Structure 1
Amino acid sequence: MRLLIQLLFLIIAALLTACTSMVPREHLPYPLTNDEFGKTVKVVTVPLPVIASSPNEGIIYGGLAAFLLHNSKDEVSTLLAPQVNYNQNFGITSSLFGSFYPSPDRNWEFNLSKSTKVNEDYELRIRDKSFLDKNLELNAFLFSFTDGSARFFGFQSTSSKSNETNYADLENGFSVSAGYPLYRRIQLVIGERYKKVDIKEGAVTSVPFIRSRFDTTSVPGIDGFTAHAQKLALVYSSLDSPTLPTWGGYAKVSVEASLKAFGSSADYRHYEVEAKAYYPLANSRFISVARIAYNQTLGNDVPFLERSILGGETTLRGYGRNRFIDSSYLLLNLEERIRLFRWEVFNVRADWEIAPFVDLGSVMEYLNKASSKSFEFNPGLGFRAVVRPNIVGRVDIGIGKEGPSVFVGLGYPF
């Protein structure tokens, strides 16, 4: 609680030191600005502290400067955030994040990050729904990263903390998808995914290396693997916004096949069902949000990182990433997003929210083998700053059986 109070104090102090400047558009070339901007561009600069603690990474602290560029409608259309952090495992990490919203139908973002020890991350994500009279939605994600904090505890919900191992997860690849409406709010999506994974020595020397405790017979993929999969999905959506929804429903049913014939290390299939609902009250001051998801992986010698996985900032927020792995999982997330107030700082209006939540989930071999005793119950509290229609920053604090986790990032968890 003391750390939380200190963090809130630092955030408030940082906001008070923010500033606004007007910059000629000619000094901010495309893609920083576009035709939606005026001759002069309002740029709001907000310095912020960064303090986070998760089971995998440990304590991270540092600072960032968020540059928010406003278009002629006074909406934040571009966000740039250079950042410098320190962590005892990775040393100093320098990064640059950028998010661009040139129109409601098109956005892209990138992340460039490099640590002095092991870690690096290079990502580009694109969404475009401007083709075929705005009927065709294209998505692409390119990535190359090394995560030296990765953990493996064994399979099944009973995997023990005493079996914890560390490794560096090196991944290079891409995923692309195309969606087209079939009927009203129902969309057909086809996708392609490829990644090459290498497993190396990690950055956390206090934890045993994965191959010192496990072998390829018991854990396929710990020598590295390739995944090349094709996906087919049906998606229903009545959400009022693709980025920051406040009401509506969402449902997805998908199947994905990974075949040796197309270059994968093994033959296996993923089946997934997911549903989300958003219900606002009191003029959206309260938004009740629920998600339920089931994932099943079938096949022989499925690489451990291609199985059904829970843990981390978007699933079980009381644990680090990839904490629980098995052939399937069942997950329920409940969250109440409560707007405390709207605060305008340097002509930027932000909704400040708290979000008490509960994450409930378990991995299992098959759904009919699920046991009530195997489910993890992770209560927690989130703090959000929302700049509509595009930007949300969040701090989520989740409590699991192995202690608390603090996740800091952009975007809602679901």
Structure 2
Amino acid sequence: MSNEDLAKKKEGKFVTGIPDFSSDPVTGFGFGVRGNIYWNGERENPLFPYTPYLAKLKVNAAYYTSNARELAMSLDVPYYKGTRWRFKIDLKAQQNPANLYFGLTENTLGDLSLPSDPNTTFSTYKEYDEARKTLRAGEIGEALFVTDALSNRFRETEYMLNLKADYALGNGKWRIMAGYEIQNLKYKTFEGEDAEAINTATGEETTAPNGFSLLKRDFDQGKISGLNGGWISLLQTALIYDTRDFEPDPTKGMYFEIANEYSSKAIGSAYNFNKLFLQARAYKKLPFGKRTVLAGRIGVGNIFGTKAPFFEFQDQWSPEGSINALGGKQSLRGYRANRFLARSMWFTNFEFRYRIAETKIAKERFAFGVAPFFDAGTVRDKWQDLNFENIKFSYGIGARIAWNQSTIISFDYGISKEDKLFYIGIGQAF
């Protein structure tokens, strides 16, 4: 760490956290908490200037009126007892009925359309969302009149355990990592369930049975696999190069990784596939302001396996945490999560992180900054077709609160041609 940042680093154990409020038409009103417990050690420890912390325990818990819920815990111990080993343990139990699905090919790069009427398109998510609620005559197997309000939604129930260890090579810039993850997944779509509807004859709001979902249609037509869920067993490996000065909020350095996830029936998984992801990040401190940093990232990923399940297309695995792709708060912040999905993808992010002020309240140190950002990316059905055509862009402004340096509370407002979205979370986007 720089001498300036090192002088501000807090010793010993401390707790940070924020309440989590949200409201969604599907999940309902939700309340939760996101917190961290840090063990930084003492300043006399020779690792003190080099590690973000000696240990960190992260706990997220939330409950929603629709019975959606989440409990996630993560323990991270870098340079365990002064050795070259780093250990991470992740546990998660969650049920989320508000997941989104728009398709699984590069056709998702087109405008939004309804599963029941793919020829009618909408240029904004607001127009699309209103059209989904319009009552229509039911198809064979549906009710007499139905709504498509939940046509792009599905519920996921997940139980997950992940164990990872990495080993620092040479002077510590290179690391090799191996891990194992086991998940149990269950999925449900909302055919026949009462949902919001608009009577076209009267314009009145009402309720009606939901029609066939897009996910169920694609599964029944053999376009996707994985709707039956099951046990997923994964072997994870990665090669990492890391010269960042302070992992939670770098001012300089680089981070590069080649990460791979392997799933096979031979190791107890319900599916055969392989996921490869390459990511590079760079941070440059600029010579003006209290703490001004230009940050950039590029990621490229591909899924191998003709029967890879649909849910594996929805994130790229990284030792630093999975990244929703493509859309949402980790990739394209002006688009809904998983708006664009296909077998191959690339994306890039740029942020201009400018610190405005710092203060100390009691024994807690806070820093405040802004972060204008620009995001771009695209997807393809084959990695050989990845290029710079049909790129999706978003941009916006972010605010950052650094609490005792290690906890970064982020507020991002992203804008795209389809949507305007606001995110709150803990941690930098990258």
Structure-1-length-normalised TM-score: 0.77
Offset at residue 299 of structure 1 (A): 0.5
1:88–1:367 CA distance, 2 compared to 1 (3 A): closer
Match of 2:240 in 1: 235
2:262 is aligned with 1:257: yes
Q: CA 1:321–1:75 in structure 2 vs 1: closer, same or farther (change >3 Å)?
A: farther
Partner of 1:298: 304
Q: Identify if the C-alpha distance between structure 1 residues 350 and 133 changes in structure 2 by more than 3 Å, giving closer, same or farther.
A: closer
Task: Please report how far the alpha carbon of residue 83 of structure 1 lies from its aligned counterpart in structure 2 after TM superposition.
Answer: 4.4
Change (3 A) 1:205 1:157: farther
Asked if the contact 1:111/1:121 (under 8 Å) is kept, the reply is yes
Between structure 1 and structure 2, the one with the greater Rg is: 2
The counterpart of 2:396, out of the listed 369, 373, 380, is: 380
Instruction: Tell me the equivalent position of 2:78.
Output: 129
From 351, 360, 373, give the equivalent of 1:335: 351
1:111 aligns with 2:60: yes
Shift of the 73–395 alpha-carbon distance from structure 1 to 2, 3 Å rule, reads: closer
Q: CA deviation at 1:288?
A: 0.3
Residue identity matched to 1:222: L
Residue identity opposite 2:345 in structure 1? Y
Report 1:361-380 matches (<5 A). Answer: 361-380=377-396
In structure 1, the residue matched to 2:272 is: 267
Name the counterpart of 2:184.
196
Residue 165 of structure 2 aligns with which residue?
Answer: 178
**1:136-155 mapped onto 2 (5 Å cutoff):** 136-155=85-104
Aligned 8 A contact 1:244 1:388 in 2: no
Query: Secondary structure of the equivalent of 2:379?
Result: strand
Structural mapping, 1:7-406, within 5 Å = 73=10, 77-103=14-40, 104-131=53-80, 133-159=82-108, 160-163=111-114, 165-184=152-171, 185-201=173-189, 205-206=195-196, 209-216=213-220, 217-281=222-286, 282=288, 285-307=291-313, 309-345=325-361, 348-406=364-422
> Where does structure 2 lack aligned partners over 5 or more consecutive residues?
1-7, 41-52, 115-150, 197-209, 317-324
Q: 2:201 aligns to what?
A: none
State the distance in 1 between where 2:81 and 2:185 align: 36
Contact 1:266 1:300 in 2 (8 A): no
Q: Please give the per-residue CA displacement for 1:211-237, whole angstroms capped at 9, x wherever unaligned.
A: 553225112112324321111111111
Matches of 1:189 and 1:204 in 2, distance apart?
47
Deviations 1:312-351 (A, max 9, x none): 1111111122222111111111111011222445564422
CA distance in 1, matches of 2:271, 2:9: 52
Shift of 1:204: 9.7
Identity %: 23
Deviation at 1:192, TM superposition (A): 0.9
| Alignment root-mean-square deviation, CA | 2.5
Which amino acid in structure 1 is aligned with residue 186 of structure 2? D
Deviation by residue 1:373-411 (Cα, 9 ceiling, x = unmatched): 321111111111112321111111111231111111111
Which one is further off, 306-315 or 293-302? 306-315
Distance 1:311 1:75, change over 3 A: farther
What is the CA-CA distance between 1:284 and the residue it aligns to? 5.6
Q: Distance in 2 between matches of 1:121 and 1:77?
A: 24
Q: Rate the CA distance shift 1:197–1:347 in 2: closer, same or farther, 3 A.
A: same
Q: How many residue pairs get matched? A: 344
CA–CA distance in structure 2, aligned partners of residues 333 and 226 of structure 1: 34
Q: For residues 388 and 215 of structure 1, do their structure 2 counterparts lie closer, same or farther at Cα, with a shift above 3 Å needed? A: same
Instruction: Please tell me the residue identity of whatever aligns with 1:175.
Output: N
1:157 CA drift (Å): 3.3
Name the TM-score, length of structure 2 as normaliser.
0.74
Structure-2 change in CA distance of 1:274 and 1:72 (3 Å): closer
Q: CA deviation digits over 1:111-132, x for unaligned, max 9?
A: 1211120311010011012525
The separation in 2 between residues aligned to 1:347 and 1:102, in whole angstroms, is 16
For structure 1, which segment, 383-392 or 266-275, has the greater mean C-alpha deviation from structure 2 after superposition? 383-392
Deviation at 1:82, TM superposition (A): 4.2
Instruction: In structure 1, list runs of 5 or more residues that go unmatched.
Output: 1-70
